[in-house]
Amino acid sequence: MSRFEVLAAVGLVLSTAAALWAPAARGATRPSVSSPSAIVVETSTGNVAYSRRAGDSRPIASVTKLMTALLTLEGPKLSKRVRAVGYRAAAVESQINLRAGERLTVADLLRGLLLASANDAAATLATAVSGSRRAFVRDMNQRARALGLRETRFRDPVGLDPGSRSSASDLVRLTSELRRFAFFRRTVDRPDATLASGDRRRAIANRNTLVRDHSWVSGVKTGHTTRAGYALVASATRRKVTLVSVVLGASSETARNADTLALLRYASARYRRSRGIVRGRVYARAPIRYRRGAEVALVAPRTLTHVVRRGQRLRRRVISPPGEVEGPIRRGQRLGRVEIMVGRQRVATVPLVAAIAVPAAGVTQRSKDYFTRPLGFALAVLVLGASVVVVLRRRAARNLPRPRRGEVEAT
Residue 369 has pLDDT above 90, yes or no: no
Of the candidates 15, 116, 11, the residue with the CA atom closest to the CA atom of residue 69: 116
Residue 314 has pLDDT above 70, yes or no: yes
Indicate the pairing of strand 304-309 with strand 345-354. unpaired
pLDDT attached to residue 383? 61
Q: Do the beta carbons of residue 38 and residue 25 sit within 8 Å?
A: no
pLDDT attached to residue 393? 76
Q: How far is Cα 123 from Cα 105, in angstroms, rounded to an integer?
A: 14
More confident residue, 7 or 166: 166
Angstrom CA distances, 405 to 399, 400, 408, stand at: 18, 16, 8
For residue 397, which amino acid is it?
A
- In degrees and rounded to multiples of 5, residue 388 shows phi and psi of -65, -45
CATH 3.20.20.140 fits 31-269, yes or no: no
Distance from chain centroid for Cα 194: 32
Dihedral (Cα; 287, 291, 293, 295), 10-degree rounding: -40
CATH number of 274-354: 2.60.410.10
As a whole number, mean pLDDT of residues 221-249 equals 97
pLDDT attached to residue 10? 41
Of the pLDDT bands very low, low, confident and very high (cuts 50, 70, 90), residue 366 is low
Residue 385 has pLDDT above 80, yes or no: no
Q: What does pLDDT average to over the chain?
A: 88
CATH 2.60.410.10 in the chain is located at 274-354
| Eight-class DSSP state of 359 | P
Share of the chain above pLDDT 70, in %: 84
Identify the helix (H) or strand (E) that includes residue 193.
strand 192-195
Of the pLDDT bands very low, low, confident and very high (cuts 50, 70, 90), residue 124 is very high
As a whole number, mean pLDDT of residues 303-320 equals 92
Q: How far is Cα 74 from Cα 64, in angstroms, rounded to an integer?
A: 16
Of the pLDDT bands very low, low, confident and very high (cuts 50, 70, 90), residue 394 is confident
pLDDT attached to residue 381? 60
| CB-count exposure of residue 396 (10 Å: 0-12, 13-18, 19+) | exposed
Q: Do the beta carbons of residue 241 and residue 305 sit within 8 Å?
A: no
pLDDT digit string, tens, across residues 159-203: 999 999 999 999 999 999 999 999 999 999 999 999 999 999 999
Residue 238 has pLDDT above 50, yes or no: yes
Can you give the length of the chain in residues?
411
- In degrees and rounded to multiples of 5, residue 327 shows phi and psi of -65, 160
Q: Please calculate the CA angle 47-50-53 and round it to the nearest 5 degrees.
A: 115
As a whole number, mean pLDDT of residues 143-162 equals 97
pLDDT attached to residue 405? 60
pLDDT digit string, tens, across residues 327-355: 899 999 999 999 999 988 999 999 999 99
All residues at 6 or more sequence positions from 149 whose CB lies less than 8 Å from its CB, including other chains: 166, 170, 173, 174
Identify the helix (H) or strand (E) that includes residue 159.
none
Residue 356 has pLDDT above 90, yes or no: yes
Share of the chain above pLDDT 90, in %: 75
| CB-count exposure of residue 310 (10 Å: 0-12, 13-18, 19+) | exposed
pLDDT attached to residue 15? 42
Of the candidates 245, 262, 261, the residue with the CA atom closest to the CA atom of residue 43: 245
Strand partners, 287: 295
For residue 137, which amino acid is it?
V
